[in-house]
């Protein structure tokens, strides 16, 4: 996490720790959906931390130019910069997400079928 300025700002601010304290204490399972079984709640944060680290690294690797300066006169450049970065990230997701993400998480669980619970019509389309 030390390589990502925004992650360091969030970590150093104590925001996440404050949110954890406001929930149920410092137990890692308090960061998850309380309807999940305890075994999943205790394990899932490690999964999402790895996914988050990968996403931050992917964004860093997709960058082809330095970020524009943060000042009021550069708002348009900031918007253009991040729009282009989001387009590149979407291309990775659409072109390689099936193998790089779904295939490998499926392999961890031995290619067992799962009951998908899409959150709407678009969720159904995204499940295939």
Co-location of 85 and 43 in the same domain: no
Nearest to 94 by CA among 128, 124, 54: 128
Q: Which pLDDT score is estimated for 93?
A: 93
How many other C-beta atoms can be found within 10 angstroms of the C-beta atom of residue 29? 20
Q: Tokens at residue 93, please?
A: 């997701």
Co-location of 2 and 23 in the same domain: yes
Instruction: Give CA–CA dist 122/20, Å, rounded.
Output: 32
| Domain closes at, from 62, 92, 114 | 62
Instruction: Give CA–CA dist 64/62, Å, rounded.
Output: 6
Q: Which pLDDT score is estimated for 27?
A: 74
80 within some domain: yes
Cα Rg of the chain (Å, integer): 18
Instruction: Give CA–CA dist 96/48, Å, rounded.
Output: 19
Q: Which pLDDT score is estimated for 61?
A: 95
Q: Which pLDDT score is estimated for 122?
A: 56
100 within some domain: yes
Q: In the chain, how many domains are there?
A: 2
67 within some domain: no
Co-location of 103 and 55 in the same domain: no
In what helix (H) or strand (E) does residue 9 lie, and over which residues does it extend?
Answer: helix 5-13
Co-location of 4 and 36 in the same domain: yes
Enclosing domain of residue 41: 1-62
Q: What is the pLDDT along the chain (128 residues), one digit of tens a residue?
A: 445 666 667 667 766 655 545 445 557 777 788 898 999 988 998 999 999 999 999 999 999 888 887 777 778 888 999 999 999 999 999 999 988 998 888 899 898 888 777 665 555 555 44
123 within some domain: yes
Co-location of 86 and 118 in the same domain: yes
Q: Which pLDDT score is estimated for 74?
A: 78
In what helix (H) or strand (E) does residue 47 lie, and over which residues does it extend?
Answer: helix 38-62
Instruction: Give CA–CA dist 29/35, Å, rounded.
Output: 11
Co-location of 96 and 118 in the same domain: yes
């Amino acid at each position: 996490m030390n390589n990502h300025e925004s992650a360091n700002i969030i970590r150093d601010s104590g925001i996440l720790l404050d949110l954890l304290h406001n929930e149920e204490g410092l137990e890692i399972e308090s960061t998850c959906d309380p309807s999940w079984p305890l075994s999943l709640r205790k394990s899932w944060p490690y999964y999402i931390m790895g996914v988050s680290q990968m996403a931050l690294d992917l964004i860093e690797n997709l960058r082809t130019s330095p970020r524009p300066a943060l000042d009021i006169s550069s708002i348009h450049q900031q918007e253009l910069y991040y729009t282009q970065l989001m387009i590149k990230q979407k291309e990775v997701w659409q072109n390689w997400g099936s193998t790089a993400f779904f295939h490998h998480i499926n392999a961890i669980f031995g290619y067992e079928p799962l009951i998908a619970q899409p959150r709407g019509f678009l969720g159904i389309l995204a499940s295939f």
